[in-house]
């Protein structure tokens, strides 16, 4: 073999040394990104910060997705466990509908008493305060009462748009009733009733019809059968038709209290 041929032949490698070298390289800690040179340090820091932000966002999004999934599962379970509220319809009633209220303060008490009769007659339906309020507003179509209804509805819409809970204000019957009293209650009602009952005559009406008017005035005036017994009896004897009163007086039994007089006169 010539020197030229020997030179061109590759030198045989030592396989044992190669294996050892590779093992040493594998045992060294891996560096994902080698530290940059000083000129690219700012870009490197920015890259690592953005990378950390992306990883954090992915982590938060993953946790949020898991939480939303748990909420969805709980909502489905709750819907299955909670029955839908039963819809309550108005029951039939023998009561006449309240008369439309125009805002006349002299008619306010009668209007309110008519409403209360309906609430008592169908207590299940009117357990919902909103239904009570809507029922009352449906009879406020004219005059000052119509203005009150408009104010109430507009204020309720404004309150709902602001976002607060209106359960104790525009969704509350006591709150509505107080506002209605402030607007329509006759502050002189009691004194007016006291004056009217003094001159309330029976005339051509029946005793039953007279007592309906008499007891309405009595109630508005604040008189009671026990405390004002003598005064009320004196009014009956003076203001009811004389033949009817004489029949009771000379009938052999003088009534002892207001209720007895009422029974005998009717």
pLDDT for the residue numbered 67: 78
Q: What is the pTM of this model?
A: 0.48
More confident residue, 171 or 107: 107
Among the residue ranges 2-16, 24-38, 71-85, 215-229, the one predicted with the least confidence is: 2-16
**Does 30 have pLDDT greater than 70?**
no
pLDDT for the residue numbered 104: 94
Instruction: Tell me, yes or no, whether 216 and 173 share the same domain.
Output: no
Chain CA centroid to CA 64, Å? 33
Answer for the pair 202, 240: CB distance below 8 angstroms, yes or no.
Answer: yes
pLDDT for the residue numbered 88: 63
Rounded distance between C-alpha atoms, residue 3 and residue 9, angstroms: 10
**Does 9 have pLDDT greater than 90?**
no
Instruction: Tell me, yes or no, whether 110 and 170 share the same domain.
Output: yes
pLDDT for the residue numbered 6: 47
Instruction: Tell me, yes or no, whether 212 and 157 share the same domain.
Output: no
Among the residue ranges 38-52, 113-127, 196-210, the one predicted with the least confidence is: 38-52
More confident residue, 123 or 4: 123
- 221 found inside a domain: yes
Answer for the pair 139, 98: CB distance below 8 angstroms, yes or no.
Answer: yes
pLDDT band at 115 (very low <50, low <70, confident <90, very high): very high
**Does 17 have pLDDT greater than 60?**
no
Q: What values do phi and psi take at 17, rounded to 5?
A: -65, -40
Q: Which domain holds residue 256?
A: 189-265
What's the mean pLDDT when you consider all of the chain?
Answer: 83
Q: Dump pLDDT digits (tens) for 60-91.
A: 788 888 878 888 877 777 777 655 555 666 66
**Does 254 have pLDDT greater than 50?**
yes
Token duo for residue 79: 């819907």
pLDDT for the residue numbered 16: 54
Task: Give the 3-state secondary structure of residue 221.
Answer: helix
**What average pLDDT does the segment 148-157 reach?**
92
- 85 found inside a domain: no
**Does 27 have pLDDT greater than 70?**
no
Instruction: Tell me, yes or no, whether 140 and 178 share the same domain.
Output: yes
CA distances from 98 to 53, 94, 150, 166, 211 (A): 69, 12, 20, 27, 21
- What is the full DSSP assignment across 95-109? SPPPPP----HHHHH
* Integer Rg of the chain from CA: 46
Rounded distance between C-alpha atoms, residue 254 and residue 66, angstroms: 87
Q: Which of 134, 155, 184 is the last residue of a domain?
A: 184
Rounded distance between C-alpha atoms, residue 74 and residue 55, angstroms: 29
Rounded distance between C-alpha atoms, residue 241 and residue 221, angstroms: 23
Q: Which of 126, 155, 184 is the last residue of a domain?
A: 184
**Does 227 have pLDDT greater than 50?**
yes
- 9 found inside a domain: no
CA distances from 228 to 212, 224, 241, 246, 258 (A): 18, 6, 22, 22, 9
Answer for the pair 100, 141: CB distance below 8 angstroms, yes or no.
Answer: yes
Report the number of distinct structural domains present in the chain: 2
Instruction: Tell me, yes or no, whether 193 and 254 share the same domain.
Output: yes
Rounded distance between C-alpha atoms, residue 41 and residue 39, angstroms: 6
- 172 found inside a domain: yes
Rounded distance between C-alpha atoms, residue 111 and residue 96, angstroms: 12
Our CA angle for 68, 70, 73, nearest 5°, is 110
**What average pLDDT does the segment 102-121 reach?**
92
Instruction: Tell me, yes or no, whether 140 and 203 share the same domain.
Output: no
- 21 found inside a domain: no
């Amino acid at each position: 073999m010539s020197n030229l041929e020997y030179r061109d032949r590759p030198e045989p490698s030592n396989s044992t040394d190669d294996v050892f070298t590779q093992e040493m390289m594998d045992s060294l800690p891996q560096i994902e990104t080698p530290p940059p040179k000083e000129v690219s340090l700012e870009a490197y820091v920015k890259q690592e910060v953005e990378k950390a932000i992306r990883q954090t966002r992915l982590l938060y999004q993953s946790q949020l997705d898991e939480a939303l999934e748990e909420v969805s599962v709980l909502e489905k379970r709750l819907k299955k466990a909670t029955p839908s509220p039963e819809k309550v319809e108005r029951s039939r009633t023998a009561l006449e509908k309240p008369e439309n209220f125009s805002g006349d303060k002299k008619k306010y008490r009668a209007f309110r008493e008519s409403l209360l009769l309906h609430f008592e007659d169908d207590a299940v339906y009117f357990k919902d305060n909103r239904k009570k309020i809507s029922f009352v507003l449906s009879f406020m179509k004219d005059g000052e009462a119509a203005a009150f209804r408009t104010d109430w509805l507009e204020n309720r819409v404004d309150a709902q748009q602001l976002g607060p809970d209106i359960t104790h204000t525009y969704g509350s019957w006591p709150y509505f009733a107080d506002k209605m009293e402030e607007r329509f209650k006759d502050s002189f009602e009691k004194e007016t009733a006291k004056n009217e009952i003094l001159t309330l005559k029976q005339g051509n009406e029946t005793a039953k019809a007279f007592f309906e008017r008499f007891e309405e005035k009595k109630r508005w005036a604040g008189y009671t059968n026990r405390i004002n017994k003598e005064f009320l009896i004196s009014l009956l004897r003076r203001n009811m038709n004389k033949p009817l009163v004489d029949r009771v007086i000379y009938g052999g039994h003088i009534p002892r209290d207001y209720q007895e007089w009422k029974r005998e006169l009717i």
